[in-house]
A and B are shown apart, each in its own frame.
Chain A
């Protein structure tokens, strides 16, 4: 077990390092001068030079990368060109909002998906199964930015139950655990939860209906075990796969929330990325991408480490 964890950790390090390289270099693919965002087109050469050295843009790219990485490890992602504020602070408050949204959506989606999938797997070929299958296909096929729009139309324009935009009363972006704020979370979280719901339903349904046909289940039944006890065995056997899929889904949701956040004007990383892209704010863009990807890398690592805890066969390899 210990060597397994160590191996996983060692494997994650080069991946994490490469992610920093990609996040850094990606931005240099862009045509045009990053200084365009702050310097007027007719700025004198001395001003441009001064700005360049202020942002470290006058050094060779590998040196810039090294310095950026060194500071990033210490928690300093530079200064946003557009707003002049520290990138770390901006990214962290946005990431916490995104995590809240993605976490709740993933939790709800996985929960509903497990129940639906298990029921459908048990009742293979019945109308419950058909409904679950249709729901799962819809879940993976629906453009979630459109679903968000439709939910807004139905639940906030026609019915008036939930607010259409924002993350809190009076346009506040600070999250609080109260009913007033919670109302704002319902529609975006519901929108986002549809994707993991579809994928988990599909996975669980296939696993359960496969497993019901296996000999050990027949043997358990022959020994006289109740349906409840047989279900415990099935649940234990499906858990590792479901965990792996669910773990990935949370990561995908952090990326996927970009679109949903735009629909609901949710003050998360999607909003930040949008600002960074359209204002060509390079430090902000690099910082946001880096932090999101690091979350994804860590999440993958956690899933890898958790898996042998549920499924002891895996740790021995």
Chain B
């Protein structure tokens, strides 16, 4: 009897094609020049941020009243200096660490928590599902920028508070995607078959449902990365995120705003980096989406 139950047929059936599926997706992605270029740009920015302590030519916090707002290509300051005389290129490198982190963490958190809630709500179905989805509907009544500003404004300025705010903004959207796929899948015959052969709810979700849900949620989450970058830096730009003197692109853009009459090009630099990162995330997400669409 137990030998019969141990036959790993369903697992084998579920995992074998899925492995080759991800393989095909990867092959497809490798042939997409736009996605590859974006990935390369992102890797460069990431490397500059991660290795900032070794690559940066100067201390990003060291101010100098004598060297304020130097233009680009000044001697010893490749990208000039900011309003307190700090080296821009070093600050941009160090800033990338915080900005990228603030863009990535909310999406990752929403991806993890949202998929879990969506799976449970979709699989449970019935009243429980309805209650969860109706509660989340309320958050759809808030435009996302307003919701982010309202939550982080209420919690008070600070990096961790803006991370919480952004996670809460993305969470309902991820849950909705995960829930709708789960609801579709749980009505399929093979799930019924698994349930009849005695599988528990959690092993059905883990083995049979998760594989179907992860794909669409992953595509959705990659699309959120660019929004998250813009919103996270936007919160810091408003003074709700990272606090000075930390280097963060949005905050740097804000403090350099007074310098646009003196040195406009240097003042616009941090925003250009936010833009490049966000457009690269968007193009990469487009590539991932079309690469994962091959099943049709």
Contacts and interface: CB of A to CB of B under 8 A. Distances in A.
A146 B272 contact: yes
Contacts of A251: 143
A153 B137 CA distance: 41
B226 interface: yes
Contacts of A229: none
B144 A252 contact: yes
Contacts of A309: none
Nearest to A145: B237
Given A30-B155, A138-B279, A146-B275, A259 B145 contact: yes
Contacts, number: 134
A15 B141 contact: yes
Interface in A168-200: none
- By size class, the interface of chain B is 35 or more
A292 B271 contact: no
A200 B138 CA distance: 25
Interface in B230-287: 230, 233-234, 237-240, 250, 253, 257, 260-261, 264, 267-268, 271-272, 274-275, 278-279, 281-283, 286
Interface string A4-18: 000000000011101
A252 B143 contact: yes
Interface stretch (A63-71, A215-223, A273-281): A273-281
A289 B146 contact: yes
Contacts of B185: none
A254 B146 contact: yes
A308 interface: no
Interface string A144-172: 11100110110001100000000000000
The winner among B156, B226, B238, B257 for most chain A CB atoms within 10 A is B238
Given A18-B141, A149-B260, A254-B146, A278 B272 contact: no
Interface in A282-301: 285, 289, 292-293, 296-297, 300
B171 to A, nearest CB: 14
A83 interface: no
A152 B260 CA distance: 9
A277 B240 contact: yes
A19 B141 contact: yes
Given A15-B141, A150-B271, A296-B141, A277 B153 contact: yes
A153 B275 contact: no
A157 B145 contact: no
Main secondary structure of the interface of B (DSSP, over half): helix
A239 to B, nearest CB: 23
B101 interface: no
Contact of B271 (A26, A146, A297): A146
Given A145-B271, A157-B264, A292 B153 contact: no
Interface in B62-78: none
A32 B150 CA distance: 16
A72 B238 CA distance: 28
B282 A146 contact: no
A141 B264 contact: no
A50 interface: no
Contacts of A278: 239
Given A259-B145, A276-B153, A293-B141, 12 more contacts: A15-B137, A26-B150, A31-B156, A141-B226, A141-B279, A142-B275, A145-B237, A145-B253, A149-B260, A254-B146, A285-B150, A293-B143
Interface of A: 14-16, 18-19, 22-23, 26-27, 29-32, 137-138, 140-146, 149-150, 152-153, 157-158, 251-252, 254-256, 258-259, 262-263, 273-274, 276-278, 285, 289, 292-293, 296-297, 300
Interface of B: 134, 137-139, 141-147, 149-151, 153-156, 226, 229-230, 233-234, 237-240, 250, 253, 257, 260-261, 264, 267-268, 271-272, 274-275, 278-279, 281-283, 286
